[in-house]
Amino acid sequence: MLQLITSADGSHTLLNTEMNETYHSTKGALQESIHVFIKSGLELFSKKEQVSILEIGFGTGLNALLTLEYAMNHQEKIAYTTLEPFPVDFSLVEQMNYPELMQSSELKNAFEAMHLLAFGQREKYNVYFTFIKEKQKLEEYPITPDVFDLIYYDAFAPSKQPEVWDVENMRKCYTGLKQGGILVSYCASGQFKRNLKEVGFTVETLEGPPGKKEMTRASKL
């Protein structure tokens, strides 16, 4: 069962009551996504003509929405692919306050459209942002080598879903990234970083978002 809750920065997140796990940090959902995925990931590709992103865990859609906003504001072309085997019911999506906090009716329309879009269907929301979501786990997703510039690794924590963070999934991510590509995650567990290093990533431990000491960035050099 999913329950809508308000995090410390006023933005919503969801609590999975069966797993006792939230989709974002309760210290600030919006702040966390901006810090981990936009500032520590996407902004590194600001000079690139087009950025190809793979997200592991569409969830509430917050990361995709922030990426769309970035694409519009910076006039940067982004091709966004996201995996979500357990989609959130639209009745909850309608209650989320991200578009209101971002003060954009255009983003609100796009946010709802991304959730309603059929799986496997590619949609172009404007000249800068192309989006597709797949109802698959990473283990099932047929990843093509050297396709993505950036991976948002935003699955539930290793303590809740250890199989998602195993070495084989890290190897798939490494394969799917282009040379010079990066993976970013809120997670900073030692085993996660060891798995990344085992498959060839160069791993950095960065300062985490508000309320969290550390996060991880891994590069395919």
Q: Could you list the pLDDT tens digit for every one of the 221 residues in the chain? A: 999 999 999 999 999 999 999 999 999 999 999 999 999 999 999 989 999 999 999 999 999 999 999 999 999 999 999 999 999 999 999 999 999 999 988 899 999 999 999 999 999 999 999 999 999 999 999 999 999 999 999 999 999 999 999 999 999 999 999 999 999 999 999 999 999 999 999 999 999 999 999 999 999 99
Residue 178 lies in a domain: yes
Residue 22 lies in a domain: no
CATH number, residue 178:
3.40.50.150
Quick one: how far is CA 17 from the chain centroid?
A: 21
Q: What are phi and psi of 46, to 5 degrees?
A: -65, -25
Whether this prediction's pTM lies above 0.95 is answered by yes
Whether the CB-CB separation of 202 and 219 falls below 8 Å is answered with: yes
Residue 205 lies in a domain: yes
Burial of 136 by CB count in 10 Å (0-12 exposed, 13-18 middle, 19+ buried)? middle
Q: Residue 194: which domain range?
A: 28-219
Residue 204 lies in a domain: yes
For the chain, the residue count is: 221
